[in-house]
Structure 1
Amino acid sequence: MIKINADQITTKLGSPYYLLLGNDPYLQYYSQSQLKTAFKQAGFNEQLTFSIDNQTDWQPIYDCCHAMNLFSTNTLIFLDFGENTINTATSSKLNSLSEILNPDIALIISLTKITKTQENAVWYKKLSDNLVVVNCTTPDTALLPQWIKNHLQQKQIVVEPEAIDLLCYYYEGNLLALTQIIEQLKLLYTNQTITYDQVESNINDSAIFTPYHWIDAMVAHKTKRATHILQQLKMNDFEPLILLRIIQRELILIINLKKGLSSKPLKQTFDEYKIWQNKRAMYTNYLNRNDIKDLFSTLALLTEIEISLKHDNQLRVWDALSALTMQFMGLNKC
């Protein structure tokens, strides 16, 4: 088995089986396009797509593995699960499919995610020797700069380093818009180094964020990023009450962590509350910066905002959320 990122797919063409994992629409589309073109060039002229859900009739899929086409014996089967996951029933169907695959059949499976249990399934183990697993997950804030650099290199475009940071800021989470602006810049500034000012004059704010990006930015004390994300959530008409619920859960978690540290070692406390390893340093720094009184004060402010919102829908709730953001990060303390 080989595991690669989507932008490496052109270096790993030629395998009969591919598993595209992740829910980034651009990376899924890019990977599928590259593979379908490569398989067509390899003589797989018959390319059949099946959308998979609990109602799918698998018999036509099985028939493809037995039938001989008059014009081509090579067939590419593409199984698109969309947002659906593999359950016991579909895993059993995949097991049966894996038993009848032959050298004239290539297979692409598109999934948003796969569990450890599914990686132990018969079909996964059966394919694994010839399987390429392609990571189609949207690059996070730490990985995005390198992704942009790789993409620019592939397109033979040179951009000033500061301009890459600008692209990250405005297009995080939206690779489709990001690749489109890069193509636009390539057309506008052919065969030249693209400057920060040239990028700035052509961009628009197309970043896609979730409330959890906002939470992480606040915990990491990234003021500019937290403010930017909150503005994007506002522009996308995100429900303020849901944001309040999410930050309430986060505050209660942090308060419990702070209380736990008074009587237990840090690792034990983190283990108890199932804090991911890659976030422990961030939480440690936050807990060291804020005392329990400040945390309760922030929780009290959150409660006031929620009560006011429920009594007055015209409340300037986004201004209140901005103030809450600052207080959460230890700024503008009451």
Structure 2
Amino acid sequence: MKTQPAQLPQLLKKGLAPVYLVSGDEPLLVQECCDQIRKAAREAGFHDRLTFHADHQLNWNTVADEFNAMSLFAEKRRIEIHLPTGKLGDGRPVLEHVLQQPPEDIILLLISTRLDAAETRRKWYKELQGKGVHVPVWPVDADKFEGWLQQRANRQGLHLTRGALAMLAERLEGNLLAASQELDRLALLTNGNTIDEETIEQAVQDSSRFNGFELVLELLAGRASHAGKMIGVLQQEGENPLGLLAVLNRDLNLVAELRAAAGQGENPAAFLKKRGVFQPQRARVLERAARRLSPGQLQQATRLCSQIDRAAKGFDDLSPWHYLRDMSALLAAKS
């Protein structure tokens, strides 16, 4: 069955399904849904967790062995499988076999980007629909972001003036993960006081997080030297690379879509406004990137994003910052 993120808490109270699929391109909302499932599973005695990352290095026979071996142990387990491309690939036969008769001592959690449309027609997905729960997570529309931000602030007990809310929404540009992090920081800085525009301005000046937005613009503009310096600073300051990765992924997709739209004669400025891009500087960078970067470069950049995500989650020997430097060189190269 399918359920919306807002309905998930109530569904979990009724009991656990043997398998959950959480999919979408909003890291914050995906993470929060997964955390709710993890919490419910732990409370039901599924304390042990095993995690796999379904990239080209994963041996699916190892995954199958884990499912087959579980019945030998008394412990209840959670098996989590990250699907960075939204595809199962070689894992389809394994999941089809598991889903035909899910083990009682395992909760399976599949965590995916937006699910590839072809996968929804596969046998494994149909089995999952019958045996488990799919939670598709959709982006917050640009015109609804300010309202989402207000609701989030209200839940945290933050009081923002209308001007402060508008300023914060403009600076965050729809990035939910960065928004959540910034509201957490404001809660610590303001100690219950009303947050006005001056407070936001000062908080931005004190924050290195917005350098993440600037870094994405430098990467897309092909300014490798400056981008490299920013990567070094952010790494030293302990910045979470997943926040800026979400921005980079979003803007790379926008560049690819803009390139295709322009090829069909659509006006770039009108296209970007329709997609919620209103800041002139960002719009210029995206337009130029769409003209400068080749389809091959954009495909390689998408693959690098997957490697950055994998490294940031501890599934790679190299640092995510290493791959961000590779990204800088790739996007600066002449096509």
TM-score for the superposition, normalised by structure 2: 0.59
Q: Identify the residue that residue 225 of structure 1 maps to in structure 2.
A: 278
CA offset at residue 108 of structure 1? 0.8
| Closer, same or farther: CA 161–38 of 1 in aligned 2, 3 Å | farther
Identity %: 22
| Larger-gyration structure (1/2) | 1
Q: Identify the residue that residue 322 of structure 2 maps to in structure 1.
A: none
Whether contact under 8 Å (2:86, 2:114) holds in the other structure is no
Q: Identify the residue that residue 125 of structure 1 maps to in structure 2.
A: 126
Please, what is the CA RMSD of the aligned residues? Answer: 3.5
Q: Which amino acid aligns with 2:85?
A: E
Whether contact under 8 Å (2:87, 2:119) holds in the other structure is no
CA offset at residue 47 of structure 1? 1.3
User: Which ranges in structure 2 are unaligned for 5 or more consecutive residues?
Assistant: 214-246, 259-266, 294-335
Q: Which amino acid aligns with 2:156?
A: K
Residues 1:243 and 2:290 aligned together: yes
* Aligned counterparts of 1:199 and 1:108: Cα–Cα separation in 2: 38
Q: Identify the residue that residue 38 of structure 2 maps to in structure 1.
A: 36
* Aligned counterparts of 2:46 and 2:277: Cα–Cα separation in 1: 50
Q: Which amino acid aligns with 2:108?
A: L
Q: Identify the residue that residue 105 of structure 1 maps to in structure 2.
A: 106
* Aligned counterparts of 1:186 and 1:197: Cα–Cα separation in 2: 15
Alignment of 1:24-63 (within 5 A): 24-63=26-65
Partner of 2:168, secondary structure, is: helix
Q: Identify the residue that residue 147 of structure 2 maps to in structure 1.
A: 146
| Closer, same or farther: CA 157–219 of 1 in aligned 2, 3 Å | same
Q: Identify the residue that residue 276 of structure 1 maps to in structure 2.
A: none
* Aligned counterparts of 2:104 and 2:165: Cα–Cα separation in 1: 44
Residues 1:96 and 2:97 aligned together: yes
Residues 1:174 and 2:225 aligned together: no
| Closer, same or farther: CA 15–203 of 1 in aligned 2, 3 Å | farther
Q: Which amino acid aligns with 1:48?
A: L
CA offset at residue 61 of structure 1? 2.5
Whether contact under 8 Å (2:20, 2:135) holds in the other structure is yes
Whether contact under 8 Å (2:4, 2:135) holds in the other structure is yes
* Aligned counterparts of 2:105 and 2:156: Cα–Cα separation in 1: 34
Whether contact under 8 Å (1:85, 1:112) holds in the other structure is no
* Aligned counterparts of 2:129 and 2:95: Cα–Cα separation in 1: 13
Q: Which amino acid aligns with 1:243?
A: A
Q: Identify the residue that residue 3 of structure 1 maps to in structure 2.
A: 3
CA offset at residue 188 of structure 1? 2.0
Whether contact under 8 Å (2:4, 2:137) holds in the other structure is no
Q: How many residues align?
A: 239
Partner of 2:143, secondary structure, is: coil
Whether contact under 8 Å (1:144, 1:168) holds in the other structure is yes
Deviations 1:159-185 (A, max 9, x none): 233322222211124333221210111
* Aligned counterparts of 1:188 and 1:46: Cα–Cα separation in 2: 37
Q: Identify the residue that residue 319 of structure 2 maps to in structure 1.
A: none
* Aligned counterparts of 2:115 and 2:178: Cα–Cα separation in 1: 27
Q: Which has the higher helix share?
A: 2
* Aligned counterparts of 2:277 and 2:101: Cα–Cα separation in 1: 55
Alignment of 1:1-334 (within 5 A): 1-5=1-5, 9-13=8-12, 14-16=15-17, 17-66=19-68, 67-68=70-71, 70-72=73-75, 74-83=76-85, 85-87=87-89, 89-203=90-204, 205=210, 207=213, 208=247, 210=251, 212=254, 218-219=269-270, 225-230=278-283, 233=285, 240=288, 242-245=289-292
Partner of 2:71, secondary structure, is: coil
Q: Identify the residue that residue 308 of structure 1 maps to in structure 2.
A: none
Deviations 1:52-83 (A, max 9, x none): 134533333333334236442x2211111223
TM-score for the superposition, normalised by structure 1: 0.59
Deviations 1:215-237 (A, max 9, x none): 68820685991404236x4xxxx
| Closer, same or farther: CA 193–9 of 1 in aligned 2, 3 Å | farther
* Aligned counterparts of 1:166 and 1:139: Cα–Cα separation in 2: 18
* Aligned counterparts of 1:244 and 1:166: Cα–Cα separation in 2: 30
Q: Which amino acid aligns with 1:219?
A: A
| Closer, same or farther: CA 85–65 of 1 in aligned 2, 3 Å | closer
Q: Which amino acid aligns with 1:143?
A: K
User: Which ranges in structure 1 are unaligned for 5 or more consecutive residues?
Assistant: 247-334
Whether contact under 8 Å (1:138, 1:175) holds in the other structure is no
